[in-house]
A and B are shown apart, each in its own frame.
Chain A
Amino acid sequence: MSKKNKSQANAMDDRMVAVEKEPNLFKAAFLALKNGDWAVKCSALWMGAGYLARKQYVKALIMTLYEVAMLAFIFVVGMPYLADFGTLGTVQLEYVFNMQTMKNEMNDYDNSFTILLFSVITFVAIVILFFSWLANLRAVHKLQKRAEAGKHINSFKEDVKSYLNEKFHITLLSLPVAGVVVFTVVPLIILIAVAFTNYDQQHMPPDSLFDWVGIENFTRLFTNGLTATFGYSFKTVLTWTLIWAFFATFSNYFLGIMLAKFLLNKKTKFPKFWRTIFVVTIAVPQFVTLLLIRNFLSDSGIVNSLFAQAGITDFLKDIGLVAEHLDYVPFLSSPGWAKVMVIIINIWVGVPYQMLVATGVLLNIPADMTESAKIDGANEWHSFWKITMPYMFAVTGPTLVTDFVRNINNFNVIYLLTQDVYVTTNQSLALSKAKEIDLLVTWLFRLTQENYNYKMASVIGIMVFIICAIFTLVAFRSLTKGDKERMFQ
């Protein structure tokens, strides 16, 4: 029997190593229910039972309290909301003014968003309780087996100690993961759910209710008509987002490396001094510099008056870069100029940072690599492309991917530079509140902040996720392939 058990355990261990996934847990819990003694079986209802039977009183108490707290939360707080989850509420807000008390008397109304919020929290709580229930069964079963085999059973003190040693990761991860769940996962689930509702300005809690509408919003994003232009706007904005991400990422990357290389060159005197100047520009908060640049370049801003004085505006008019009747350069207010300008300004913002990173990497470049190039008599340009860049690329390739994704979601630069300044001249875009210069995220942001169109914003958010996910998967797959090849070299 014990032998069989052991081989079973071994097999389980093997599987645990092979696939680091959940099935083990289900199976283990199932086995616990099937093979466990009365105490283990009791644990299915009362999570502390298994520990009590092994005289782990404190643990039994903790688990009991945990179970009671979770169940109390789910049934007392969560259930009333969960019951309304299907309809997202039916009772609309009404109130009467009571002259006697000088107060408004409101009815017991439903708030769709609160229902959604608490339903999601309750769902999460149920999932957590379920998994902890499984894990608990497995744990008490293990405990039972240890007791039967006459092995040592941990005292509470020893248990606590294990959380500083072999279970230290649990101690380390619990708070950060809880933070992520509360502040990222739950909100994301809620917003994903909103994509399937009609939550917009006409359906805003607390005054109105919103309701499930299925995939209507997704179809809206892909249809186009005279009065429904989300399809057109999405295509336009997506195209520009990708163009932007491409240029923003690669311009910063290459220029940053070149600048770093230039400063590292032995012929450059006082490299520290120069580097410090660039670093200072990182240290000024972005919103200060960007808002400043926005005013700097505004239609009646200082650059425009200097340009007009110096006759540059007229020159640009002559060569057709500025429309004939304008007496200023529309740096941030016409589509063509604005798109070029935001990319240039992004270089201004991003290159110093990229330069810092590249400097660090370049300093780590194995000396023999550059030495051998010198012996080969390669000139600087040649060695830059043949030695420096491949090395940089091998080392920082993955960050290029993350930078690309970050640029797709680069909210600050575009928003701060063009908000209140840029007005679209395209009625189709205007109807769906987009602008030529918008990225998907800035469009999404303005949809929520200015138009309360949460349903469409959520749909766009999901699309952004899908795009980023596809891109990341493809890029990492090809990158890892490349890495393997390089390792053989």
Chain B
Amino acid sequence: MKLKKFLALAMTGAMALSMTACGSGDKKDDAGNNTSNTGSDNTGSNTGSNTGSNTGNASGAKEEVTLTMWGAEEDQTMLREMADAFIEANKDAVDLTIQIGVQSESTAKDTILTDVETAADVYSFPNDQLNELVAAGALMAIPDEMGRADIEARNTSGSVAAATVDGKLYAYPRTADNGYFLFYNKEYLSEADVASWSTMLEKAAAAGKKVTMEMNSGWYTYGFFKAVGLDSTLAENGVDTLCDWNSTTNSVKGIDVAQAMLDICKHEGFIATEDAEFVTGIKDGSIIAGINGVWNANAAQEAWGDNYAATKLPTFSAAGSEHQMYSVTGCKLVGVNPHCKNVGWALKLADWITNEANQVKSFELRGNGPSNINAAASDAVQANIAIAAFAKQQQWAAVQTVGGNFWGATETFGQTLQDGNPEGTDLQTLLDNMVAGITAPVQ
């Protein structure tokens, strides 16, 4: 009879509970968890008053600041050291606590966009996620007063360009090695062999081994089309993509490139792999050359020992001539979340993590190629085989900026080629479909 009433009572109870919880949640900054809950519910108004009270604070006693930072699994120990040094360096000005969380860089965007407000204050990500993060308001443009000019001066122009959208600098370059080049095993292949796909594939097939690259990824296949001057770029609205990969008017047509790719895929000496399979393949000796990046340099060196070598990408043959394959100018960036409570300190931390000394450290500990001009010029960096190969490739490399529909369509296209185009679809049709997918308005 009074069921409804009682349910109602219970529900109000629950609601009242949640109300008090969120009321207090705003103030107490939940000791147990580290996220800076920037006014999750009554957002704006609260922040205003907070700022007010803190202004008084800044002039007086030492401020307490908690920052959270996300970095890749492999970088955790290194980041901790850098953060501790940062705390130490600023201990007179501020009482800092820095919590470091694990967030794989390749999926940073996915986690951050789910809820920007609770994402870390400072985080590391690869530059191909920059556009989407900026569009979602997850990155703070670095104000001129916070040393923007200095950042732009001390890092390579390519890495600065990769961190810039619409003339605003949105992140601190941390590495400038996020592109691809060729690893090979000197036991089977000579420097001359790896200059072109065709000789490399022949040698590999003769030895019963494989050459590899990831085909079903627009990040890699970009290198084939860019080589002949076909491009994919961001449209003016910042979300859609423009693409002429299916061009029939270019000196080398899109279909020629696709044919070249298909020939590679179908070659006996080729196997398409993704990252983890690449490592397994070089470990068990079945793969003797492959297009990949510095993150697998250690694995390759371990597996091949003295026979480990790396160089620029090979040429491929299309429409009767050889073309130098392109790479992307990619970097790892460190960005700051505008929803952070202490954005100033977050910016300083990001700056610290990416300064010259720490880039050198990051090179020494993790083999990351520095974006800092001075750090990159050091002898040790120059002597690193993988980074040297990456540098060699840089004259055939471009910053890749594309919209959201690029990845799915190129993945599908690459997969079809990788499968050897089993249905024998006309390549021009495949290209046209892909370009239709790439250029379709994001909805």
Contacts and interface: CB of A to CB of B under 8 A. Distances in A.
Contacts of B140: 97, 104
A105 B54 CA distance: 12
A264 interface: no
B8 A128 contact: yes
A102 B12 contact: no
B13 A178 contact: yes
B7 A427 contact: no
A323 B12 contact: no
B4 A131 contact: yes
A103 interface: yes
Nearest to B45: A108
Nearest to A142: B1
Contact of A430 (B41, B239, B408): B408
Nearest to A128: B8
Given A174-B9, A206-B137, A427 B43 contact: no
Interface string B39-62: 011011101100100110010000
Nearest to B47: A106
B412 A99 contact: no
Given A108-B44, A139-B5, A299-B277, A101 B55 contact: yes
Contacts of A73: 12, 15-16, 19
A207 B116 contact: yes
A220 B414 CA distance: 28
Most interface-central of B143, B344, B405 (chain A CB within 10 A) = B344
B419 A202 contact: no
Contacts of B79: none
A204 interface: yes
B305 interface: no
A181 interface: yes
B45 A128 contact: no
Interface stretch (B122-130, B186-194, B333-341): B333-341
A266 B98 CA distance: 67
Contacts of A118: 41
Nearest to B439: A227
B239 A170 contact: no
19 contacts: A73-B15, A121-B15, A128-B7, A129-B8, A169-B3, A170-B3, A177-B7, A178-B13, A178-B14, A181-B14, A182-B14, A202-B239, A226-B440, A298-B277, A425-B416, A427-B412, A427-B437, A430-B412, A451-B404
B105 interface: no
Interface in A117-154: 118, 121, 124-125, 128-129, 131-132, 134-136, 139
Most interface-central of A102, A136, A227 (chain B CB within 10 A) = A102
Contacts of B373: none
Contact of B413 (A102, A174, A427): A427
Interface string A398-426: 00000000000000000000000001111
Nearest to A182: B14
Interface in A193-229: 200-202, 204, 206-208, 220, 226-228
Nearest to B237: A202
A114 interface: yes
Interface of B: 1-16, 18-19, 40-41, 43-45, 47-48, 51, 54-55, 58, 110, 113-114, 116-117, 132, 135-138, 140, 143, 145-146, 216, 239, 265-266, 271, 273, 277, 280-281, 338-345, 404-405, 408-409, 411-416, 419-420, 422, 433-434, 436-437, 439-443
Interface stretch (A236-244, A311-319, A324-332): A324-332
Interface residues of A, number: 83
Interface string A282-325: 00000000000000001110000000000000000000000111
A114 B420 contact: no
A167 B411 contact: no
Nearest to B11: A178
Contacts of A173: 3, 7
A39 B318 CA distance: 93
A124 B265 CA distance: 58
Chain B at the A interface: SS class = helix
Nearest to B344: A102
B411 A423 contact: yes
A396 interface: no
Contacts of B414: 423
A431 B405 contact: yes
A66 interface: yes
B51 A135 contact: no
Contacts of A181: 11, 14
A445 interface: no
B48 A228 contact: no
Contacts of A423: 216, 411-412, 414-415
B143 A99 contact: yes
Contacts of B415: 423-425
A200 B420 CA distance: 35
A109 B43 contact: yes
A322 B90 CA distance: 63
Interface in A76-102: 77, 93, 95, 97-102
Contacts of A208: 137
A479 interface: no
Most interface-central of A93, A131, A325 (chain B CB within 10 A) = A325
A341 B265 CA distance: 25
A227 B412 contact: no
Most interface-central of B15, B239, B413 (chain A CB within 10 A) = B15
A323 B19 contact: no
Given A93-B137, A103-B51, A325 B420 contact: yes
Pick the 9 closest A-B CB pairs, nearest first. A102-B344, A207-B137, A108-B44, A227-B440, A174-B10, A132-B8, A427-B433, A325-B420, A430-B412
Most interface-central of B55, B132, B136, B414 (chain A CB within 10 A) = B136
Contact of B409 (A62, A182, A431): A431
